A and B are shown apart, each in its own frame.
Chain A
Amino acid sequence: DTGVSQNPRHKITKRGQNVTFRCDPISEHNRLYWYRQTLGQGPEFLTYFQNEAQLEKSRLLSDRFSAERPKGSFSTLEIQRTEQGDSAMYLCASTPTGGDGYTFGSGTRLTVV
């Protein structure tokens, strides 16, 4: 197993465009999390799946953000009508049900120009 994989590693987009990121968790992990990290800050919770069910979405997340995890495997995070404030590192993590700490992916760095 190669761990949690995220694609792309970097994304530069113009303000107003839509972007989509992908996360492939460790295959036997049922739980998948999305976090956002800006410079000098800790990761900030965005949303969380158990298998294909999205169990919680941060109140800080606007309607421009949506995430899916079809079939309980990979997950996608889409940001519509991007704004400069969306520039950040988007981290995906997975854990087995009732398991231990998070295994994070290397993240997708988004720059909105």
Chain B
Amino acid sequence: QQPVQSPQAVILREGEDAVINCSSSKALYSVHWYRQKHGEAPVFLMILLKGGEQKGHDKISASFNEKKQQSSLYLTASQLSYSGTYFCGTGGGGGGSNYKLTFGKGTLLTVNP
């Protein structure tokens, strides 16, 4: 089943923070996060595995709550380059963390100067 992302869209000013949520109705083994700019391929940001860990690099981090079957992506002090559509992809396991993914519909993030 397709994970549900919220919000569908968010507009920020440079330097502001944002949180994007991803919820699933089925048990999760892994959650991937990708960013896609218009007309380009999705670019991998990070992967979180079952265990409730939090990951991050630079000013982008994510958490994974397997009990709630949710993941959240945190963008702090946003930059213009953060603009794009963010997708979460959920994996149900069965052969590794990078098995086939089911992607949400995406969250369109726009960062204005």
Who on chain B is nearest to A46 by CB?
B100
* A40 at the B interface (CB under 8 A): yes
B105 and A40 contacting across the interface, CB-CB below 8 Å: yes
A101 and B103 contacting across the interface, CB-CB below 8 Å: no
Interface majority SS on A: helix, strand, loop or mixed? loop
A45 and B105 contacting across the interface, CB-CB below 8 Å: no
Which bracket fits the contact residues of B? 20 to 34
Beta-carbon contacts under 8 Å, B1-58 to A: 2, 32, 34, 40-47
Q: Which of B32, B41, B89, B100 has the most CB of A within 10 A?
A: B41
Given contacts A56-B100, A101-B47, contact A42 B106 (CB under 8 A): yes
Q: What residues on B are CB-neighbors of A91 within 8 Å? A: 41-42
Given contacts A42-B105, A44-B103, A102-B32, contact A31 B98 (CB under 8 A): yes
* B84 at the A interface (CB under 8 A): no
Give Cα A101 to B104, complex, Å. Answer: 16
A104 and B42 contacting across the interface, CB-CB below 8 Å: yes
* B101 at the A interface (CB under 8 A): yes
* B102 at the A interface (CB under 8 A): yes
Which bracket fits the contact residues of A? 20 to 34
* A25 at the B interface (CB under 8 A): no
A101 and B32 contacting across the interface, CB-CB below 8 Å: yes
B43 and A45 contacting across the interface, CB-CB below 8 Å: no
Who on chain A is nearest to B98 by CB?
A95
Q: What residues on B are CB-neighbors of A103 within 8 Å? A: 44
Q: Closest Cβ of chain B: how far from A109's Cβ, in Å?
A: 9
B87 and A100 contacting across the interface, CB-CB below 8 Å: no
| 4 shortest interchain CB distances as A-B pairs | A42-B103, A101-B44, A104-B41, A95-B98
> Given contacts A42-B104, A48-B99, A101-B34, could you give 7 more A-B pairs where the C-beta distance is less than 8 Å?
A40-B105, A42-B105, A42-B106, A44-B103, A45-B102, A97-B96, A100-B44
Listed in ascending order, the chain A residues whose CB lies under 8 Å from chain B are: 31, 33, 35, 40-45, 48, 56, 91, 95, 97-107
